[in-house]
């Protein structure tokens, strides 16, 4: 097969620097706080996986992958009885974790980093023995790579219509899979080249299953990229920073320094956050403000003349969706979120369902919601003002929404989230055993144990 031979004086490109970082970093190099955040991310991953495992859209995707594409049965699906091959398990578990928009969020890129990286790692762990420490190391490095690339193309990448979790997630999946295969830096750089050729995902798909399918593609294609590189297939020398590489093609003005600045000193996982509500992260402060208003004035929906949302421009850009038809679309609709929370005083999965979206009272409310862009607000903050027909107005300002970096969910909160969502979608799971396993994963001889606990075992 044709391979690219590295010259002794080959320049160390940014792509190569990232590849060397992945190849050379050891568990002992990872700070304790980052190690702990990796475990928090995986607790949240299984929690949201349980929320999505019984979703009808996921069931349809499983049927397609099982009946048309399956090449084996060595890997499990979170909360389900089916088994499939490693690549399809990576895709389906990433979709499942993303389907309710309840997954984690890296700030400031708004990447949902765990699903595209953890899904292939757990799939690999069921096909080849690895320790929990090895999985966690690969996970930390995969997240680091996808988020650094995300930083380099933000904010114009998303504004141009690219779905950043999918486009950058494929690089994270490639890095993580390559680490588990013990690839050398040249091979990892080649894997980045294959990932760059498979980076895809559009903002236009938000509110549909197509968005989660693209997250699944990131997980699957990232692993495929590493497998191809392991066989010696060569890729471009500068897939990230080249003249027609990923950064220049997908961003207006790429920040090339963001790829390697403070590499090994500043870690992406320390900017990771976890959602208390199943909706787009920019909606969190709006939901929280509406919950406060609903507690004070429950049942006031018919008395409301207008609701004004003041927040970062991303709030309007991502959630101004008045004509939604499905629960999936509700997850990224401020109009629905405001109406349903003010009407019910709740913000659980049930409030973002097809049934709630069909409620004519909630649908009629959409025209009463108005947006005011204010760059002084960070994405985790918002002000909600309710103008009543009586002429009175009430307002709530949330400076840092629950779940943000300034007001993070605790370990106990994440435990509760996993238990609650398992009860919702996978009540058969021994949740406390799973939590005990995840919190001590760095000491485990078998990294596949969480998947063994989280699946439906019919054998």
* CATH number of the CATH domain containing 334: 3.30.1330.120
Same domain, 181 and 57: yes
What is the rounded average pLDDT for all residues in the chain? 94
Same domain, 302 and 209: no
How would residue 8 be classed by pLDDT, with cut points 50, 70 and 90? very low
Same domain, 321 and 390: yes
- Identify the pLDDT of residue 102: 95
- Domain coverage including residue 429: 14-274+418-454
Q: What is the SS3 assignment for 212-266? A: HHHHHHHHHHHHHHHHHHHCCCCCCCCCCCCCCCHHHHHCCCCCHHHHCCCCCCC
Please state the rounded mean pLDDT for residues 146-156. 97
CA distance 203 to 453: 34
- Radius of gyration for the alpha carbons in the chain, expressed in angstroms and rounded: 22
**Collapsed DSSP state (helix, strand, coil) of residue 457:** coil
Same domain, 135 and 32: yes
Pairing of strands 83-84, 75-76: antiparallel
**Collapsed DSSP state (helix, strand, coil) of residue 391:** coil
The CA-based angle 172-174-176, given to 5 degrees, is 70
Q: Please state the domain count of the chain.
A: 2
Whether residue 3 is contained in a domain is answered as no
- Tens digit of pLDDT for each residue in 302-326? 899 999 999 999 899 989 999 899 9
Nearest to 206 by CA among 63, 77, 317: 317
- Tens digit of pLDDT for each residue in 187-211? 999 999 999 999 999 999 988 999 9
- Tens digit of pLDDT for each residue in 172-184? 999 999 999 999 9
- What percent of the chain has a predicted confidence (pLDDT) above 70? 97
* CATH number of the CATH domain containing 154: 1.10.4100.10
Same domain, 370 and 440: no
């Amino acid at each position: 097969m044709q391979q690219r031979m590295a010259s002794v004086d080959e320049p160390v490109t940014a792509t190569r620097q990232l590849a060397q970082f992945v190849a050379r970093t050891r568990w002992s190099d990872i700070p304790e706080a980052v190690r702990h955040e990796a475990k928090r991310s995986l607790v949240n991953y299984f929690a949201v996986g349980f929320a999505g495992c019984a979703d009808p859209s996921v069931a349809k995707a499983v049927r397609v992958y099982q009946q048309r594409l399956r090449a084996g049965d060595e890997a499990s699906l979170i909360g389900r009885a089916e088994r499939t091959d490693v690549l399809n398990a990576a895709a389906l578990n990433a979709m499942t974790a993303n389907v309710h928009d309840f997954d984690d969020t890296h700030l400031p890129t708004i990447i949902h980093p765990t699903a595209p990286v953890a899904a292939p790692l757990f799939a690999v762990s069921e096909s080849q023995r690895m320790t929990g420490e090895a999985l966690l190391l690969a996970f930390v490095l995969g997240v680091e790579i996808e988020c650094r690339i995300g930083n380099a193309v933000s904010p114009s990448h998303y504004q141009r219509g690219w779905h950043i979790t999918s486009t950058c997630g494929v690089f994270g999946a490639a890095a993580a899979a390559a680490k588990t295969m013990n690839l050398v830096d040249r091979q990892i750089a080649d894997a980045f080249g294959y990932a760059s050729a498979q980076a895809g995902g559009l903002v236009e798909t938000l509110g549909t299953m197509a968005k989660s399918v693209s997250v699944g593609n990131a997980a699957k294609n990232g692993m495929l990229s590493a497998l191809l590189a392991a066989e010696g297939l060569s890729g471009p020398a500068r897939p990230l920073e080249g003249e027609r590489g990923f950064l220049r093609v997908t961003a207006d003005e790429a920040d090339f320094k963001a790829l390697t600045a403070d590499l090994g000193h500043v870690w992406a996982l320390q900017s990771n956050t976890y959602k208390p509500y199943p909706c787009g992260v920019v909606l969190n402060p709006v939901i929280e403000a509406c919950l406060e208003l609903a507690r004070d004035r429950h049942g006031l929906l018919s008395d409301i003349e207008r609701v004004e949302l003041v927040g970062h421009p991303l709030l309007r850009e991502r959630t101004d969706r008045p004509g939604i038809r499905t629960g999936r679309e509700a997850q990224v609709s401020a109009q629905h979120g405001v109406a349903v929370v003010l009407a019910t005083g709740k913000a659980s999965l049930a409030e973002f369902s097809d049934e709630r979206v069909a409620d004519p009272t909630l649908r009629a409310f959409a025209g009463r919601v108005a947006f005011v862009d204010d760059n002084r607000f960070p994405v985790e903050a918002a002000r909600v003002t309710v103008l009543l027909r009586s002429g009175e107005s009430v307002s709530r300002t949330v400076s840092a929404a629950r779940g943000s970096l300034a007001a993070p969910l605790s370990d106990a909160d994440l435990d509760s989230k996993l238990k609650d969502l398992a009860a919702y979608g996978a009540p058969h799971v021994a949740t406390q055993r799973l939590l005990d396993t995840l919190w001590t994963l760095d000491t485990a001889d078998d990294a596949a144990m969480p998947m063994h606990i989280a699946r439906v075992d019919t054998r």
